[in-house]
Structure 1
Amino acid sequence: MNPTVVLSFLLFTFLAALISFVKSSGSRKATTTDFFFANRTNGWLIIGASLFFSNISSNQFIGENESVYINNMSVIGWGVTSVVAMLIVSEYFIPIYMKAGVMTTPDFLEKRYDKSTKLLVSVVFLFSYIINLLPAVLYGGAVAFSSMFNIPSFLGISYWQSIWLLVFIIGIIGGIYSIVGGFKAITISDTVLSICMFMLALIIPYFGLRYLGDGSVEMGFQKILSSKTEHLNAIGSETDAVPFSTLFTGMLIVNLYYWGMEQYIIQQAIAGRSLKDSQKGIALACFAKLLCPLLINIPGLIAVHMYPSLTNTAEVFPTLVKDVLPGFLVGLTASVLLGAAITTYNAGLNSSSTLFVLNLYKPYLEKKKKGDVSERQLLRAGKIFQICISLFAVFFAPFIIFAQHGFYNYLQKVGVLFTIPIFTIIFLGFITKRLPAIAAKVGLVFFIVCYLASQLLMNLKLHFLHVIAIVFVITSVLMLLIGRLYPQPQPYVLQLDNKVDISPWKNRHYISMLLLIIMVIIYLVFSPVMLAG
């Protein structure tokens, strides 16, 4: 193991942690609002960085570069086209949450439907985080580090054993970070690591192209443009990882859910000191997402030419980094990868704990004691819950190695089972006034059963994103039919209970138009019209 890599990794990791804890040490953590929402004091810069880096984990580095290596650039659809969903969320969803003064996504469901719907969705959320999000983040980080530091050879252990070891280390570090530092430490860390990531977004393609071109960046670039150009195509066919047609069906639904209803993402936005700050932060995160192909996908293109026949395609990104970067930059990349794994893991832990404490544990205690519950008792329960789910994630994560059709495909398919049913009932709650709670409960169960049947019992020749769209439409029709037959006696009216200023950002429409133009340009560049032609 290269000593320079190890020393630079330890140095950059220590500095990021030091800055995070110094900056967050003055923040109070005496109440649930302090611990879970940084006391609603975050400005637009921290919100943007937190949204971006909570979204970017080792999963993207590993999974998307693997997909580019196996297929082509069509996988950028997950990130680049998410800008459309993020702008819709900024304009319509966030104002509703902040006007209603909700602390969790299911809080809105209680206001819109009833308490039992809130309880049911909170349980589904927790299953999603505990079974899908947390283990996947740990696994992605372990794969990256095992390859980058060549852990099996260095310690004389098998690849399977190295995954177990690294999952355990990342899980323990992440758990301590979240429990001790709280939400403020997580958001500060995200800001620091986002700066490092943008540096790497320029550094890694530069060194990769220079290595490919035998010392010449221009020659490396020419190699990518002159051979195997099918990998440059972002307009995916029906046999690719992300067919282009899915961008207008299931992809849009998944992105709307993720950016507008996923608790650990929404928690970043509603922790803002004003609606204006939240909307500006989302715009900043949009711009960062448009730059993502430089770091998250270009390395996969370079790897296509460097490694014609990799057996373990999940190692595309860490292998490239290890081969083309100087030692101290490998250390920086490893530090950012660790930060990406830990901050997404922390955000998931924090949000899981938020859902458990505020939506399940607190109502239970209030009903049992018939009175108010102390903040100290709630915080203690939240920290114990984080410890428990951390242990489960650590023991479950290594088994993702047995997933078929690649790690990233596993991540998306399993996530849909929990997420899109929630999107369906919240979305219809937004756009209707008399839809009853029974429709929400039936719709939630109906979607889960139908999607499971489509994946396990039927041999459909459709991409799973198209299946999502079809089941979403059928479920929506069923819910609207129930609403027509058994309408809610009184129409729902949004009651203002805002905790911060809810004046919108005046320049948001101009910035939104600019971001959409950039998105279209990216697709034109990575298409048969230009680079893939």
Structure 2
Amino acid sequence: MGNDSISVIDTIIVVAYLLGIMAVGILAGYRKNTSSDQFFLAGRSLRWPIIGTGLFCANISTIHLVGLASSGYKDGLVIGNFEWMAAFCLILLGIVFAPFYFREKISTLPEYVEKRYGSGARTFLAFIFVMSALLVHIGISLYAGAKVLEAFFGIPYVASIIGISVITAVYTIIGGLRAVMITDAIQAVLLLAGAAILTGFGIVELQAVGIASWADFEAACRPNQLNMIQPIKDATAPGSLGLREFSWYSILFGYPVLGIWYWCTDQTIVQKILAAKTEKDGRDGAIFAGFLKILPVFLMVLPGVIGYVLFKEKIGDDNDATLMIMMKELLPVGVRGLMAAGLLAALMSTIEAALNSTATLTAEDIVKRLRPNTSDASLVLIGRITAGVVVVLAMLWSTQGGKFDSIFEAINKIPMAFAPGITTIFLLGVFWPRGNKQGAMAALLFNLVLGLVYLAIDIPLVGDKQIIAKVVGIPFMQVGWYLFLISSAVYVAVSLMTPAPAQEQIDNCCWTRPLDALRGKMEGTITDPRVMAAVLILIMGVLYTLLR
């Protein structure tokens, strides 16, 4: 079935999708006299199924589709821990953090930080969130999507970057968050359907080459390629310590540092919760997204393992080509175009969410604070201009994506400069009322300095050796855990050496007792967020037992 050419039918499908999704976004979101609340938060009218799919789509980008298949080929199902561990972070978002975000009726996460820690922390967070959206959510995503189009259609990746950026920016800038959420619901269906179809064709092809059982499949794979849990050390691991990059230790302790920052505190993600119609919708939406995060292991990582079994001779050492080769080898004309459209759907959903969040942060956390009397219409206009400027800057930055060893490395190493500190001030801040603004700023700044030094020597920006990862042998996931421990120690020490926070900085900002997060009246039965969370934890326990 292999065919290196892309048919006219596939091309038409992709072009029709791009034009169609832009039209849907504009029609769904455009209002002649859009208020800032409608533009940035969809009028706070979203129900939990839409919130859950929006959270899922904002996260699953082309980076994930390409990167998970690539890592499935190279490392195996273990990389799926990045998806399954997200489910636990989404439970934290729904149970622990969302109540405070919703009750305060905030528009941005830095607003919450200002109430808890003061204006200095708010300004710092707003800047960090805009930069992370520009560098990670949009910039690296554009690079990944453009490389896919270059491989698939032969379009120069710079032209792809421009085309994708313009289309996504148009309907996001015009339609606001409602356009983002409506298009996300469509893109979630297309994305999951495309991934499921590719997985299905892969399974059929396995049977065609004589692999008829799980035991046959396991025998054809690398050792441990189908295991989710792996030991700490490996004699073949790089560096003097011999630590395995994705061991159970790295995942258990390192992932939550990145995961809590990303899922519980990042504006691009949490903005969906802020737009909820009710507190219950926001909490349920977060946990529903946790259920959806079960799927990528089977629909995006497993295909990479299948690709290893079927096409390792063609793919060779170029594991980033896994998804492209599988699409070309397994999918018929028409279906291939739908899958390509799914890749674009993933890319655009991530970019649109990041653009809307940067627009919100600039209007609400910078302009509105400097000029409180700015009119509603002016805030919307400023938000739209911001989105346009950010997408141009991200386009310029995205051309540098090739300097990283891999896309996956880029999206996880860059946040090390700030994620451990942010996780510290939110997690300890919501559970430890004694934490104060001095402790928060000290932790954030300390992490920023250490994180930038780490990036400089381990991307590397200086020289050509990754000293921490390759020479010493400390995986980046463990680096995040150690930076979190250091940031936490700084936060606690400085807080104890300085005055306790005022009562108004604690009220409605943190739990007096940790178990208070689980108390309260039942809200429905199966849709009570605590019940949904318990069911999700049970399912995850069963899955980890089966694939340990």
| TM, length-normalised to structure 1 | 0.89
1:523 aligns with 2:516: no
The amino acid of 1:473's aligned partner reads L
| Counterpart in the other structure of 2:165 | 171
Q: Give the deviation of 1:48 after TM superposition.
A: 1.0
Q: Secondary structure at the match of 1:232?
A: coil
1:231-271 deviation per Cα after TM superposition (whole angstroms, max 9, x unaligned): 21222344454221122212112112211101011001121
Distance 2:42 2:409 in 1: 34
1:386 aligns with 2:387: yes
Cα separation, partners in 2 of 1:28 and 1:250, compared to 1, 3 Å: farther
CA contact (8 A) 1:33 1:40 kept: yes
Q: Give the deviation of 1:28 after TM superposition.
A: 6.9
| Counterpart in the other structure of 2:196 | 202
Q: Secondary structure at the match of 1:235?
A: coil
Q: Give the deviation of 1:344 after TM superposition.
A: 0.6
| Counterpart in the other structure of 1:155 | none
Query: Among 169, 172, 183, which residue is 2:177 paired with?
Result: 183
| Counterpart in the other structure of 2:113 | 109
Query: Among 245, 250, 266, which residue is 2:249 paired with?
Result: 245
Distance 2:204 2:317 in 1: 25
The amino acid of 2:218's aligned partner reads L
| Counterpart in the other structure of 1:530 | none
1:228 aligns with 2:221: yes
| Counterpart in the other structure of 2:364 | 358
Query: Among 11, 22, 34, which residue is 1:6 paired with?
Result: 11
Once the two structures are superposed, the pairs formed by residues 504-523 of structure 1 within 5 Å of their partners are 505-506=523-524, 507-523=528-544
The amino acid of 2:489's aligned partner reads V
1:295 aligns with 2:299: yes
Query: Among 67, 90, 96, which residue is 1:92 paired with?
Result: 96
The amino acid of 1:194's aligned partner reads A
The amino acid of 2:227's aligned partner reads N
The gaps in structure 2 that reach 5 residues or longer are 1-5, 238-243, 458-466, 510-519
Cα separation, partners in 2 of 1:23 and 1:503, compared to 1, 3 Å: farther
The amino acid of 1:449's aligned partner reads V
| Counterpart in the other structure of 2:336 | 330
| Counterpart in the other structure of 1:377 | 378
The amino acid of 2:43's aligned partner reads N
Distance 2:388 2:23 in 1: 23
Cα separation, partners in 2 of 1:100 and 1:504, compared to 1, 3 Å: farther
| Counterpart in the other structure of 1:493 | 506
Q: Secondary structure at the match of 2:93?
A: helix
Cα separation, partners in 2 of 1:302 and 1:29, compared to 1, 3 Å: farther
Cα separation, partners in 2 of 1:388 and 1:513, compared to 1, 3 Å: same
Distance 1:478 1:415 in 2: 19
CA contact (8 A) 2:67 2:407 kept: yes
Q: Secondary structure at the match of 2:106?
A: coil
Distance 2:29 2:410 in 1: 36
| Counterpart in the other structure of 1:211 | 205
Distance 2:32 2:286 in 1: 25
1:308-363 deviation per Cα after TM superposition (whole angstroms, max 9, x unaligned): 24353222112211221121111111112111111110110110111111111222
Q: Give the deviation of 1:215 after TM superposition.
A: 7.7
| Counterpart in the other structure of 1:48 | 52
Q: Give the deviation of 1:299 after TM superposition.
A: 1.4
CA contact (8 A) 1:86 1:260 kept: yes
1:11-41 deviation per Cα after TM superposition (whole angstroms, max 9, x unaligned): 444444444444445x676221110100001
Q: Give the deviation of 1:456 after TM superposition.
A: 4.2
Q: Give the deviation of 1:432 after TM superposition.
A: 2.6
| Counterpart in the other structure of 2:146 | 142
CA contact (8 A) 2:43 2:275 kept: yes
Distance 2:25 2:358 in 1: 22
1:402 aligns with 2:408: no
Distance 2:448 2:72 in 1: 30
Q: Give the deviation of 1:51 after TM superposition.
A: 0.7
**Worse-superposed segment, 297-306 or 234-243:** 234-243
The amino acid of 2:251's aligned partner reads L
**Worse-superposed segment, 9-18 or 102-111:** 9-18
Distance 1:44 1:16 in 2: 22
**Worse-superposed segment, 386-395 or 507-516:** 507-516
1:483-503 deviation per Cα after TM superposition (whole angstroms, max 9, x unaligned): 11212353333259xxxxx98
Distance 2:434 2:479 in 1: 28
CA contact (8 A) 2:56 2:292 kept: yes
| Counterpart in the other structure of 1:315 | 321
Distance 1:134 1:503 in 2: 41
Distance 2:33 2:100 in 1: 27
**Worse-superposed segment, 383-392 or 239-248:** 239-248
CA contact (8 A) 2:417 2:455 kept: no
| Counterpart in the other structure of 1:265 | 269
| TM, length-normalised to structure 2 | 0.87
1:85-113 deviation per Cα after TM superposition (whole angstroms, max 9, x unaligned): 11121111000111112111110111111
Q: Secondary structure at the match of 1:327?
A: coil
The amino acid of 1:477's aligned partner reads A
The amino acid of 2:284's aligned partner reads K
**Worse-superposed segment, 16-25 or 87-96:** 16-25
CA contact (8 A) 1:9 1:328 kept: no
Once the two structures are superposed, the pairs formed by residues 114-133 of structure 1 within 5 Å of their partners are 114-133=118-137
Query: Among 342, 346, 355, which residue is 2:352 paired with?
Result: 346
Q: Give the deviation of 1:512 after TM superposition.
A: 1.7
CA contact (8 A) 2:191 2:343 kept: no
Distance 1:524 1:13 in 2: 41
Q: Secondary structure at the match of 1:81?
A: helix
CA contact (8 A) 1:100 1:494 kept: no
Cα separation, partners in 2 of 1:14 and 1:452, compared to 1, 3 Å: closer
CA contact (8 A) 1:224 1:301 kept: no
The amino acid of 2:397's aligned partner reads F
Q: Give the deviation of 1:472 after TM superposition.
A: 1.3
| Counterpart in the other structure of 1:462 | 474
Distance 1:247 1:28 in 2: 48
